[in-house]
Structure 1
Amino acid sequence: MVTTGLPPGPRLPRAVQAGLMLRLGPRFIDACKRRYGPTFTLRVAGMGTLVYLTDPADIKTVFAGDPRIYHAGEANSMLKGLLGDTSVLVVDGDAHRDRRRVMLAPFTRDAVAGQTGLMAQIAADNIARWPVGRPFAAAPKMAQITLEIILRTVIGASDPARLTALREVMPRVLRVGAWETLALANEALLGKSPWRTLREAIDAADGLLYAEIADRRADPDLVTRTDALSILVRTGGMSDRELRDQLITLLVAGHDTTATGLSWALERLSRHPEVLARAVRAARTGQDDYLDAVARETLRVRSVVFDVGRVLKEPVDLGGYTLPAGVMAIPGMVLVHGDPHIYPDADRFDPDRMLGVTPGPSTYLPFGGGNRRCLGATFAMVEFRVVLREILRRVDLQTTTAPGERRRLKHVIFVPHRGARIRVTATRSVPVRSGGDEGSCPVGGQA
């Protein structure tokens, strides 16, 4: 039996529900599931009416749905002020299909495998500067590594002065919280205080990216370059503005998300001595399957992205209800990843559960799904493995019995509330491992 209308949900004011989402995140939506059932409605200021779905069958329906009816780009429209109107993240329909087809070229298995040596070298150079014998937050180090990887492998920046400028300005652009999102959703605010500094940072980043695009178009050796920008320029069909929008999208979707996943991996490993010891052996003996399992389990037990959504353009039957057009259907990633019926003892960090299995596309959702699955998922997983491997090969990490760090919502991702604090007890000098890696959104993003 299908019921017309919306599923049950809290009757709190929209602003209160928005505050609960920002403040409590998973605890709030988990409480809603317990009280209202597997399908429930939230009304959130700034986001609209959200219908959460936790049944894998319903999630499969959403991901396999007609893209003319299920609009993911519209669900991401609040980011247009940063990403631009032509970003693969914010367009729908035929425009998305055509743009995605072009954007996949730099992220094929072979293209990503060709970048692993540079990824490893970037990680090794950063790790060599880590302090020994005192605690420090891993998250900023992971952010430095993943930003440098994107700047060098995706944008292909090599001019020393421009690289320095990009390293300085991009963290300011990417430091987008709830307050900044207000201005990105209403671009008129970007010219006003206190958002003017964000506008200035975006303008500075644009200038640097346009300079990279101009250099690439004029490069006589373009055909031999392997960075994503060069591949997109060779493919043709995109204006400078369209290329800029895709580059900023890749930076937003693949920098902080991957850095956060790596931070959570170190936070989890330092609290699970047996898993850490096994991961160290795997890293030092070339057992990449186990490192991949650590990555996958980390992204399950500590989901980085909050959730993914589709704005309905027509009424749709989902979860036993006929949902009206205009609502956002949300496959509840955090709830599914924590469901003990799908993942027994779901709170336990257990990479063994990911060994030798391919998680189902409607029960394992760190990269979204369907025609909007993160186009950089292969890149992200290879980067995760390469960086984690270099860390575990080069340093000895001290384990701790301290409670796990809480999840703090930072815009649309969950970060460790103390920055994933770790302590290095010793370092090792080993050569950089290069080559030999193959892919198994940047993390995040419904591209």
Structure 2
Amino acid sequence: MRKTARDGLPPGPPLPGWLQLLLMMRWWPLFVARCRRRYGDVFTLGNTMMGRMVYLADPDAIKQVFAGDPRIFHAGEANSMLGGLLGETSVLVIDDDLHRDRRRLMMAPFHRDAVARQAATMAEIAAQNIAGWPVGRPFPVAPKMSEITLEVILRTVIGAGDPDRLGALRSVLPRLLKVGPWRSLAIARPELLQRRPWRRLARLMAEADRLLRAEIAERRADPDLAERTDALAMLVRAGAGGDGMTDEELRDQLITLLVAGHDTTATALAWALERLTRHPEILARAVAAADAGDDEYLDAIAKEALRIRPVVPDVGRILTEPVEIAGYRLPAGVMVVPSISLVHSRSDLYPHPEVFDPDRMVGATPSPSTWLPFGGGNRRCLGASFAMVEMRVVLREILRRVELATTTEPAERQRLRHVILTPHRGGRITVRGRRPGVGAVVSGARAAR
């Protein structure tokens, strides 16, 4: 006999909202892990910024959310606090038919063939950056990864070619995207941008807008638009039939792609290197795979790094009407939260989940409800394939070009920066030397393999 769903919310910690917010800002993964041990796979948190949140660590419940009616499970509404930076028409903060239509227009640049064409550029950018790495002394690799992923976006997504504008974008965007708790307040409440503490952020946003709008205008006027391969050109071409995006909408999508694809991929790469340098046998196999062109093992490293150190700890959906999930009839207005970090640490899905083991990902096709670093359902990250190719290409270039030292240092802690979990020391590595016999740039055929 089917059990009757319980009305109301699952149990959770009886702590005031302000205290839960502080605990999540400082110890997010630890706090939710302890709540799961105390309350089980479904529990309620509530803080003064996000309201009531029902956390889900059960794959069946997560599958229900991802497969649910998008009109009931609102992801854009759950992301609304990002609207001050991304813009009101960003594909991340809109819902229903508008989201469906915008997502359809944005698919072309992230098709498998389109991404493969960008692999040679990714390899070239990585090679040029790696050539400047220090030898013989430790350094945080996360900033280097950020430089690489930003340059990849500038050249393959935005397609910036004007030297002066490209230089300005390289200067402005890293400062704009460096979001901490103080800036998060103004992003969540844009009216604060008019006040003195946040006026510098407002100026950075205005300068970024000016530069991006100049790129949009240039692309619309480009007589060779049909031959261009950058994402912006594809977005402009996609709207040539009359149902395209306005300049404002294009600006919002470009900022969204920058935010969603810059520090996230850079952080994932930093975590992969942090893990590799603490596992000598895996590092040796990774070097051999890079030399042999074994993409399967490099992909497995990337997948396992994203499992054990997910860059984003969870995703949210706000209910627009009551829904029965995991034995509870949840009211409208509640946010349901598939927890990436909790699912990835389940021992019944991943034996010894605390162990970094790329072999578990070799030849595996994890379920979308058990491996979900890019979210899921109709809101799965548009750039997931792009990010996986970029991780493979950059890891290959690093492993072929430099000899990484291993370390017995303790694992770096996860530190929350806005909504991203970064290595608390920046993923410190040491290059012992440069490997001989590798040219300055990998050929396009090899890089796109």
TM-score (norm 2): 0.97
Q: Identify the residue that residue 390 of structure 2 maps to in structure 1.
A: 383
Q: Identify the residue that residue 442 of structure 1 maps to in structure 2.
A: none
Q: Which structure 1 residue ranges, 4+ long, deviate > 3 Å from structure 2?
A: 435-439
* Cα deviation 1:223-277 (Å, max 9, x = unaligned): 1100000001111111110100000000000000000000000000000000000
Q: 1:132 aligns to what SS in structure 2? A: coil
Question: 8 Å contact 2:120–2:448 — kept in the other structure?
Answer: no
Following superposition, the deviation at residue 436 of structure 1 comes to 5.3
Q: 2:438 aligns with which of 398, 420, 430?
A: 430
CA–CA distance in structure 2, aligned partners of residues 198 and 366 of structure 1: 29
Say whether 1:314 aligns with 2:321.
yes
Q: 1:254 aligns with which of 249, 258, 261?
A: 261
* Cα deviation 1:399-441 (Å, max 9, x = unaligned): 00110000001111100000000000111351333235669xx
Say whether 1:186 aligns with 2:189.
yes
Question: 8 Å contact 1:113–1:435 — kept in the other structure?
Answer: no
CA–CA distance in structure 1, aligned partners of residues 40 and 438 of structure 2: 53
Alignment of 1:318-357 (within 5 A): 318-357=325-364
Alignment of 1:116-135 (within 5 A): 116-135=119-138
Change (3 A) 1:401 1:255: same
Q: Identify the residue that residue 367 of structure 1 maps to in structure 2.
A: 374
Unaligned segments of structure 2, at least 5 residues: none
Question: 8 Å contact 1:114–1:435 — kept in the other structure?
Answer: no
CA–CA distance in structure 1, aligned partners of residues 380 and 287 of structure 2: 31
Q: 1:359 aligns to what SS in structure 2? A: coil
Question: 8 Å contact 1:314–1:324 — kept in the other structure?
Answer: yes
CA–CA distance in structure 2, aligned partners of residues 324 and 420 of structure 1: 42
Q: 2:425 aligns with which of 396, 418, 431?
A: 418
Following superposition, the deviation at residue 173 of structure 1 comes to 1.1
Q: 2:347 aligns to what SS in structure 1? A: coil
CA–CA distance in structure 2, aligned partners of residues 123 and 437 of structure 1: 11
Q: 2:445 aligns to what SS in structure 1? A: coil
* Cα deviation 1:111-164 (Å, max 9, x = unaligned): 000001110000000000000000000000000000000000000001111111
Q: 1:352 aligns to what SS in structure 2? A: helix
Following superposition, the deviation at residue 319 of structure 1 comes to 1.3
Q: Identify the residue that residue 214 of structure 1 maps to in structure 2.
A: 217
Question: 8 Å contact 2:271–2:305 — kept in the other structure?
Answer: yes
Mean alpha-carbon deviation: is it higher for 131-140 or for 181-190? Answer: 181-190
Q: Identify the residue that residue 20 of structure 2 maps to in structure 1.
A: 17
Following superposition, the deviation at residue 220 of structure 1 comes to 0.8
Say whether 1:30 aligns with 2:37.
no
Alignment of 1:55-94 (within 5 A): 55-94=58-97
Q: Residue type matched to 1:217 in 2?
A: R
CA–CA distance in structure 2, aligned partners of residues 17 and 316 of structure 1: 25
Say whether 1:145 aligns with 2:158.
no
Following superposition, the deviation at residue 285 of structure 1 comes to 1.0
* Cα deviation 1:71-99 (Å, max 9, x = unaligned): 00001000111100110000000000000
CA–CA distance in structure 1, aligned partners of residues 37 and 238 of structure 2: 50
Question: 8 Å contact 2:79–2:92 — kept in the other structure?
Answer: yes
Q: Identify the residue that residue 297 of structure 1 maps to in structure 2.
A: 304
CA–CA distance in structure 2, aligned partners of residues 235 and 55 of structure 1: 39
Q: 1:283 aligns to what SS in structure 2? A: helix
Q: Identify the residue that residue 443 of structure 1 maps to in structure 2.
A: none
Q: Identify the residue that residue 170 of structure 2 maps to in structure 1.
A: 167
Following superposition, the deviation at residue 178 of structure 1 comes to 2.0
Question: 8 Å contact 1:394–1:430 — kept in the other structure?
Answer: yes
Q: Identify the residue that residue 47 of structure 1 maps to in structure 2.
A: 50
Q: Identify the residue that residue 444 of structure 1 maps to in structure 2.
A: none
Following superposition, the deviation at residue 186 of structure 1 comes to 1.2
Following superposition, the deviation at residue 193 of structure 1 comes to 1.8
- How many residue pairs match? The answer is 439
Q: Identify the residue that residue 245 of structure 2 maps to in structure 1.
A: 238
Mean alpha-carbon deviation: is it higher for 391-400 or for 168-177? Answer: 168-177
Q: Residue type matched to 1:17 in 2?
A: Q
Q: 2:202 aligns with which of 166, 174, 199?
A: 199
Unaligned segments of structure 1, at least 5 residues: 440-447
Q: Residue type matched to 2:138 in 1?
A: P
Q: Residue type matched to 1:310 in 2?
A: R
CA–CA distance in structure 2, aligned partners of residues 307 and 174 of structure 1: 20
- Give the fraction of aligned pairs with identical amino acids, expressed as a percent: 66
Question: 8 Å contact 1:304–1:414 — kept in the other structure?
Answer: yes
CA–CA distance in structure 2, aligned partners of residues 422 and 83 of structure 1: 33
* Cα deviation 1:358-415 (Å, max 9, x = unaligned): 0110000100000000011010000010011000000000000110000001111100
Question: 8 Å contact 1:396–1:424 — kept in the other structure?
Answer: yes
Question: 8 Å contact 2:123–2:447 — kept in the other structure?
Answer: no
Q: Residue type matched to 1:351 in 2?
A: P
Change (3 A) 1:36 1:438: farther
